[in-house]
A and B are shown apart, each in its own frame.
Chain A
Amino acid sequence: MKVRIENLRVRIPPDDRTLFFLPKLRVASREKVLIQGASGMGKTTLLHCLAGLRPPQEGRALADGRDLYRLDERGRDRFRRDELAVIFQKLNLLPHLSSLENVMLMRSGGRFVGRERAREVLAAVRMTHRASVLAARLSQGEQQRVAVARALAGTPRLILADEPTSSLDDDNATVVVEALLAAAREATLIVVSHDRRLRERFSRCIRFEEAATS
């Protein structure tokens, strides 16, 4: 999926100041891009804009030429459901569901992910042994791996990952990145991270403060 951003401006309350203005960003289909930058500049907000969750005050966010904010709400729901996978900075697992059930929330090809597929992706992030444990009882690192597994369970054409390795040790970070890259073989991958270990794994690295102004 090709991603394009044009003159994207996001303002924040209470004084409506500009959080960031990103004049231009193009990501080619199946490209793997790492965005790095200081905290508080709006990287997470940028991913939410690209996920159709945060309408910008100005500018356009396009996925395969479709302006996400010209789509109606159902259109954006369909986009998230069928074409997108997001790994959130706060992970956002449902705490009362098990690892397996969290993964089974996802859909692939219009159908809910089955038990087998869910186990498969949990295995890819070395979480099979914790499949039946409630998310609330997992460590931060385990939750991060489940969040990654959940994003990989469908057949997304665009994967957005917000700090996917922030709580992981080197070994697990490698596993997660390998899984992400493997899953993203047929997809476009945009990762926001402070993690320097990731730089060498991505073909393109963007410094957010250079690309955007505030």
Chain B
Amino acid sequence: MNAWRLAWLNVSRRALPSAIAVVAIAWAAAAGGVMLKLHTLSQSRFATLAAEGQSVVGAKSGGMDLLLGSLNLEGDLPAFIPYNLFRSIRSAEKIGFENGTFSHIPPVRAVVPFLRFGSVGPFAAVGTDERFLRRPDHSDSPRLEAGRWFHADAPELVAGAEAARRLRLAPGAAVTLDIANPTGEPNVRRAEFSVTGILAPTGKIWDFALFACLRQGQRQLAEFDLESVSIWQNQVLHYFLIYHESAVFPRLQSLINQRTVAQIVSVPEEIAKLHELTGLGRRFGLGFAALILFMAGACVAAMTIARFDAMSVHMAILRALGYSKAEIAGSLFLEGLLLGGLACLIGGLGDFLFFPRIREWVGLDFHGYAVRLPLLSGAVWLMILAAIACAVAIPVVKLCRQDVDQSLKGM
């Protein structure tokens, strides 16, 4: 009976202990893989975050939500802010309030509006204007690689590089957008847009988005009954980026935060806070992931050692029948490989099925370039198999020192 057959019989005929071992190892593989991927994902957000503009304005919420929602297109759709606020700030007008008072808007260099009004699969459709392409500093302006910018009055859009690649879009192509109902009701409208241009890759979140004229986005929203979510009807947007001199920020902050429904946050400050938070989180996450991996490896090793340790008489019998130590060690290794392989297969399947939901649940379902997630799971599986190989080494050492005569006599 060759080593494979012997290993298979040892696994299959001890069904309950084998099943417990496989489930435990599979759990360890899945948990280790998920933890490592979540940890890596949480770090990868900095790769795509578009650190642009000096400030970002959105509906009142946490600063971090504003930052990640606007510059990494993360999370659910936020509440609207009035278009008039954007227009007033862009044109440095006076703002008049209901009590008859006025505030003067400090001068700013540029304002870029964003309205997330739909999507194609995972790619968001964002309404904006020509300022998106022509930033005051130029250095961070996206560039058209093919085609032209959209016309304000036509249902046209420009696709980010990665969205265009994955959706196979080229200038002239037609694309159907799902227009999300901002009231939260489940009805979704569809709208045909034509692609007029493709952006050059930026390495940022813009590569994963589709850009149309802000007015087109507002027109699409007007098809819904917006009364419950907007007192401004469709004259709304979600965010706008402001480019300004740093001395202007306190005045903008005082005006927007205290006298409007919106909130302004400083992009560099929020990014610094995010780094600080995830810096702590990174150390904690890495430690936690390492702990889970270590526990997974230790659990696998302990289980395998206990299993093989109970086989000393079995090994003595095989030795007495003329099986060499190498043959028995090979059979033990194959048995470990069978258990580990089966467990990795089940753990991998669990990881594959549940990771997208877990990722969404913990709020890490943003786009990313840098992370090769399946490779991380592969690394965990390799580690599990390595732990099993190490665990086999211990009974093999015992096998080498075994007194076959005593083992056969049951002493």
Known: A94-B317, A112-B1, A134-B13. A77 touches B323 (CB 8 A): yes
B410 partner residues in chain A, CB cutoff 8 A: 90
Known: A82-B322, A88-B320. A104 touches B1 (CB 8 A): yes
Q: Mark B306-331, 1 if CB is under 8 A from A, else 0.
A: 00000001101111111111000000
Query: What are 16 A-B interface contacts by the 8 Å CB criterion?
Result: A48-B408, A53-B404, A53-B405, A74-B324, A77-B319, A78-B322, A81-B322, A82-B322, A84-B322, A86-B321, A88-B320, A88-B408, A90-B408, A93-B317, A96-B14, A97-B9
Asked if A214 CB lies within 8 Å of chain B CBs, one says no
Asked if B166 CB lies within 8 Å of chain A CBs, one says no
Query: Which secondary structure dominates chain A's binding surface?
Result: mixed
* Minimal beta-carbon separation of B306 from chain A (angstroms): 17
Check A96–B320 contact: CB distance below 8 A. Answer: no
Interface residues of B in 5-50 (CB under 8 A from A): 6, 9-10, 13-14
Check B323–A48 contact: CB distance below 8 A. Answer: no
Check A105–B321 contact: CB distance below 8 A. Answer: yes
Asked if B409 CB lies within 8 Å of chain A CBs, one says yes
A93 partner residues in chain B, CB cutoff 8 A: 317
A44 partner residues in chain B, CB cutoff 8 A: 409
Interface residues of B in 335-364 (CB under 8 A from A): none
Expressed in whole angstroms, the Cα–Cα distance for A21 and B130 within the complex equals: 104
* Minimal beta-carbon separation of B19 from chain A (angstroms): 14
A97 partner residues in chain B, CB cutoff 8 A: 9, 13
Expressed in whole angstroms, the Cα–Cα distance for A74 and B322 within the complex equals: 9
Check A105–B318 contact: CB distance below 8 A. Answer: yes
* Minimal beta-carbon separation of B41 from chain A (angstroms): 44
Asked if A31 CB lies within 8 Å of chain B CBs, one says no
Check A48–B405 contact: CB distance below 8 A. Answer: yes
B404 partner residues in chain A, CB cutoff 8 A: 53-54
Most-contacted residue by chain A among B314, B316, B324, B405 (CB, 10 A): B405
Check B405–A112 contact: CB distance below 8 A. Answer: no
Expressed in whole angstroms, the Cα–Cα distance for A106 and B318 within the complex equals: 9
Known: A54-B405, A96-B9, A96-B14. A80 touches B322 (CB 8 A): yes
* Minimal beta-carbon separation of B263 from chain A (angstroms): 68
Check B320–A80 contact: CB distance below 8 A. Answer: yes
Asked if B2 CB lies within 8 Å of chain A CBs, one says yes
* Minimal beta-carbon separation of B338 from chain A (angstroms): 15
Asked if A101 CB lies within 8 Å of chain B CBs, one says yes
Which A residues fall within an 8 A CB radius of B? 44-45, 48, 51, 53-54, 73-74, 77-82, 84, 86, 88-90, 92-94, 96-97, 101, 104-107, 112, 134
Tell me the nearest residue of chain A to B410, going by C-beta.
A90
Check A96–B324 contact: CB distance below 8 A. Answer: no
* Minimal beta-carbon separation of B5 from chain A (angstroms): 9
Expressed in whole angstroms, the Cα–Cα distance for A127 and B319 within the complex equals: 25
Known: A45-B405, A96-B9, A96-B10. A77 touches B322 (CB 8 A): yes
A86 partner residues in chain B, CB cutoff 8 A: 320-321
Known: A53-B319, A90-B408, A90-B410. 20 other contacts (CB 8 A): A48-B408, A51-B320, A53-B404, A53-B408, A54-B404, A54-B405, A73-B325, A77-B325, A80-B320, A80-B322, A81-B321, A81-B323, A86-B320, A88-B320, A92-B408, A94-B317, A101-B1, A105-B1, A112-B2, A134-B13
Most-contacted residue by chain A among B1, B316, B322, B410 (CB, 10 A): B322
Interface residues of B in 390-405 (CB under 8 A from A): 404-405
Check A92–B313 contact: CB distance below 8 A. Answer: yes
Expressed in whole angstroms, the Cα–Cα distance for A93 and B320 within the complex equals: 11
A81 partner residues in chain B, CB cutoff 8 A: 321-323
A106 partner residues in chain B, CB cutoff 8 A: 321
Tell me the nearest residue of chain A to B313, going by C-beta.
A92
Expressed in whole angstroms, the Cα–Cα distance for A75 and B409 within the complex equals: 23
A94 partner residues in chain B, CB cutoff 8 A: 314, 317
Expressed in whole angstroms, the Cα–Cα distance for A82 and B324 within the complex equals: 12
Expressed in whole angstroms, the Cα–Cα distance for A54 and B405 within the complex equals: 6
Expressed in whole angstroms, the Cα–Cα distance for A195 and B318 within the complex equals: 28
Expressed in whole angstroms, the Cα–Cα distance for A73 and B399 within the complex equals: 13
A78 partner residues in chain B, CB cutoff 8 A: 322
* Minimal beta-carbon separation of A63 from chain B (angstroms): 14
What 10 A-B pairs are tightest by C-beta distance, nearest first?
A81-B322, A80-B322, A96-B13, A54-B405, A77-B324, A92-B317, A48-B405, A53-B404, A53-B405, A104-B1
* Minimal beta-carbon separation of A61 from chain B (angstroms): 13
Tell me the nearest residue of chain B to A91, going by C-beta.
B317
Tell me the nearest residue of chain A to B2, going by C-beta.
A112
B10 partner residues in chain A, CB cutoff 8 A: 96
B320 partner residues in chain A, CB cutoff 8 A: 51, 53, 80, 86, 88, 92
A96 partner residues in chain B, CB cutoff 8 A: 9-10, 13-14
B316 partner residues in chain A, CB cutoff 8 A: 92
